[in-house]
Amino acid sequence: MIQVAVMGYGTIGSGVVEVLETNRERIRRKTGHEIAVRYILDLREFPGDPHEALIVHDFSVIEKDEEVGIVVEAMGGVNPAYAFAKACLLAGKHVVTSNKALVAAHGTELLRIAGEKHRNFLFEASVGGGIPIIRPLTQALAGEEILEISGILNGTTNYILTKMDREGQAFEEALTKAQELGYAERNPEADVEGYDTCRKISILTALAAEREVNYEEVSTEGITHITDTDFRYAKELGTSIKLFGSSRMENGRASVFVCPMMIGPDHPLYSVSDVYNAVMVRGNMVGTLMFYGSGAGKLPTASAVAADIMEAACHMEDHIPMGWSDEKQVLSPMKEQRFRYFIRFSGSASEKLPDVEAAFGKVRAAELPGLDEFAVVTGEMTESRYQKLAAAFGDIRQMIRAGEIIC
Amino acid sequence: MIQVAVMGYGTIGSGVVEVLETNRERIRRKTGHEIAVRYILDLREFPGDPHEALIVHDFSVIEKDEEVGIVVEAMGGVNPAYAFAKACLLAGKHVVTSNKALVAAHGTELLRIAGEKHRNFLFEASVGGGIPIIRPLTQALAGEEILEISGILNGTTNYILTKMDREGQAFEEALTKAQELGYAERNPEADVEGYDTCRKISILTALAAEREVNYEEVSTEGITHITDTDFRYAKELGTSIKLFGSSRMENGRASVFVCPMMIGPDHPLYSVSDVYNAVMVRGNMVGTLMFYGSGAGKLPTASAVAADIMEAACHMEDHIPMGWSDEKQVLSPMKEQRFRYFIRFSGSASEKLPDVEAAFGKVRAAELPGLDEFAVVTGEMTESRYQKLAAAFGDIRQMIRAGEIIC
């Protein structure tokens, strides 16, 4: 019998309890252990809840109970999640979390302590919700040199962009709808500004590079400036716009960025819609892989937490080598990255296109009726070259980076 | 230092040697072991090959060399692969294979021997080439009750169907093209008749059910009867046609089948084209996941073999619990399965549609100009009900099972 404590009885925490109950027999058979929830830590009371008797308000009860072998951190945020997770590891307990903010900010230290204590700090659910991505990256692809990871890692923004794409909604309208449905928070900043995606791609990059990635150094651009007009051009060009978290790795250097990307139908992530997430991985031998599924939601995320609990249960006395070292991964600056660029210029194409092509080279152009503007997609160039060329044009209304497949 | 023998120096075998060399340093760092190829077993000579000195023709050299800890079986076919793999396990060596025919026919016994000998019989590369699917099924999704697995598991047929879909080619024309490109064998039967897919879905089902699945009991229909006319209707209906290997599991019963399926753009497998493979998994908690990548090819498949070699290297003295038991999985008969049906009738819709709807209920109908026929997509019904209803119509030209998303 392995005793588990669940910290945080919100959506994820209650989902974990539900998954452990629903699949109890299967989990027992696969791990050889009965997994029992002994405590649920939450500040609130839950009168009438079937697990009311397990609720505790004092973390030290969990920390001090030597029978608790595995602690699930499902509180979210960095504080007090960090202090609690660290204390649990130091007390010799395994810690499983779904909290990307915690992992991105303190993963290096928590992984180190886990190693020193011969325990495990596991976080499959922190990226891609129910999608198995961390385990494949660290196990099935352990022998690969990872060249690129690109993901649609945030369900809220993907839902908003899908609504804009399919129904021609403006950003604000789609955001309001997402909030009504509970897909977006009242304060949507972490999602729509790309901060959530930034933490997730930083975690994936750190796993692939086996070095610490400072998420604060990652160039991060959200979707608040994307308009319905952009999507009208996207339709005209046979493309779509998605919020990408990407890293490209070469010769020990990594470049990591979060930004909206215009991609064509040949891109594996093109058809990932609504609240779904997907992660594309390119390895030097295996080529392109994609992992797709529910990136959030109570039960999918809880399922990933349960898989980590099972893994910990099978390794109660040993540390599974995984994660990254204290060494810092050097990140290439964004200005060295190469993209195509979707650019909207005010004025008419017939008049200005020659100037645009004189500067940017051969482009693909599109015009929409009734707008005093036109758009182009350039060939590939570095970000610094784009910035330099764009500075000479005073009439740029929009720029969205584009994949290589659409020209 | 761990000594490896590679049996079969064809596409996969030579790919394995290449991956182990190219990613040698990474593999050493991750496993803590130097992995060295000591023998390559092949009947042929390879004069001038950089590994010529490693070639042996006599299996007993490998079997008897106690320093060989891991044997890669990349010969294909059941004989002598089966005898060699079994002998290696009995001699206390780990066996890694990419051979679905071997795993489908003798996996139960080889897994049992591996367990008894505290060794591992690993076969990630036998399904989906480089796509990590077996490890996620047995590890990341270990706690899930798997409800459905549906895959596009054969790159050759997917290439042919993609050509028919996009370029309006006839089956024979697309097959010839696939043969020219080396995607299809001179004798394409195993691919186009669905036998290859049948073995792969049987393996995946056995892993999910943890019981032996007899692939000979799986209802298997290939793609040789699919015509360009079917694809013209598919376009008209906004659908596509893919060769599915599927299993649906409920209450300890499994139904497993291989057949062409008409699916709409909302299906996760709709956009899987060319030689790519993908596996969709539906779990009771995690919902729908999809794993996508190169289902065949030298290096992707070899990459999956290398991952298995690394796993064996990390567990040289212990058996990783995985696979299935000797117990036989009961398979539900095909006639109990429920599908929608795409049916082409000779004659005109205006004349015959009332009769069709009187029998099959409300349908979605389509007609193509210049053909004395029409097509319908029915609502969902069991296969036995379809068979009974269809028997009353003497003018059915084609039937393709359809997913639930297109009516």
- The yes-or-no verdict on residue B17 having pLDDT over 70 is yes
Residue A210 CA to residue A326 CA, distance in Å, equals: 9
| Residue at a domain's end among B270, B294, B318 | B294
Within this chain, do residues A80 and A100 fall inside the same structural domain, yes or no? yes
- Residues in chain A with CB shorter than 8 Å from the CB of B2 are none
pLDDT digits (tens, 9 = 90+) for B241-288: 999 999 999 988 999 999 999 999 889 899 999 999 999 999 999 999
Residue A407 domain-assigned (yes or no): no
Q: What share of chain A in percent tops pLDDT 90? A: 94
CA of A309: which chain B residue's CA is closest?
B143
Query: Nearest-CA neighbor of A226 among A128, A342, A336?
Result: A342
B139 lies within 8 A of chain A by CB: yes
Residue A406 — pLDDT band, cuts 50, 70, 90? Answer: very low
Supply the CATH number for residue A387's domain: 3.30.70.240
- Name the residue in chain B with its Cα closest to that of A137: B132
**Residue B86 belongs to domain spanning:** 2-129+298-328
Same domain, A261 and A352: no
Instruction: Mark whether A141 and A290 lie in a shared domain.
Output: yes
User: What is the number of alpha carbons within 13 Å of residue A320 lying toward its C-beta?
Assistant: 21
Q: B168 and B266: one domain?
A: yes
Residues B28 and B117 in one domain: yes
Burial class (CB in 10 A: 0-12, 13-18, 19+), B67: exposed
Active site includes B200?
yes
pLDDT digits (tens, 9 = 90+) for A126-172: 999 999 999 999 988 988 999 999 999 999 999 999 999 999 999 99
Report the DSSP beta bridge partners of residue B250.
B253
3-class secondary-structure state, position A115: helix
Q: For residue A99, is it within any domain?
A: yes
Residues B28 and B83 in one domain: yes
Closest to A111 measured CA to CA, from A33, A253, A213: A213
pLDDT, position B406? 46
**Which pLDDT band, with edges at 50, 70 and 90, does A266 fall under?**
confident
Closest to A291 measured CA to CA, from B150, B157, B293: B293
Q: Choose the final residue of a domain: B311, B328, B345.
A: B328
Does residue A261 sit in the same domain as residue A277? Answer: yes
- Asked if the bond preceding A369 is cis, omega within 30° of 0, the reply is no
CA distance A123 to chain B (A): 12
> Side chain identity at A285, as an amino acid letter?
M
Asked whether residue B77 is assigned to any structural domain, the reply reads yes
Q: What is the pLDDT of residues A1-22, one digit of tens each?
A: 999 999 999 999 999 999 999 9
Q: Is A53 within a domain?
A: yes
Interface of B with A in 308-337 (CB under 8 A): 310-311, 321
Q: Could you tell me whether strands B240-250 and A94-97 are parallel, antiparallel, or unpaired per DSSP bridges?
A: unpaired
The per-residue pLDDT for range B69-125, each reduced to its tens digit, is: 999 999 999 999 999 999 999 999 999 999 999 999 999 999 999 999 999 999 999
The reply to whether B242 and B344 lie within a common domain is no
Q: A212 with A330: CB under 8 angstroms?
A: no
What is the ipTM, given to two decimal places? 0.93
Q: Mean pLDDT throughout B303-327?
A: 94
- Whether residue A157 lies inside any domain: the answer is yes
- The confidence score (pLDDT) of residue A407 equals 44
A57 & A99 share domain: yes
Which of the four pLDDT bands, split at 50, 70 and 90, describes residue A405? low
CATH number, domain of A199, equals 3.30.360.10
Q: Are residues B311 and B177 both part of a single domain? A: no
Q: Is B252 left (phi over 0), alpha (psi -120 to 50) or beta?
A: left
**What is chain A's mean pLDDT, rounded?**
96
Q: Are residues A80 and A40 in the same domain?
A: yes
Residue from A96, A303, A320 whose CB has the most chain B CBs within 10 Å, to mutate: A303
A287 occurs within a structural domain: yes
Does any domain span residue B150? Answer: yes
pLDDT value at B407 more than 60: no
Is the pLDDT confidence value at B405 over 70?
A: no
Q: Is residue B86 part of a domain?
A: yes
Q: What is the pLDDT of residue A321?
A: 87
Residues A151 and A191 in one domain: yes
Is B300 close to A291, i.e. CB distance below 8 A? Answer: no
Q: How many domains does chain B have?
A: 3
Token readout for A81 is 């999640």
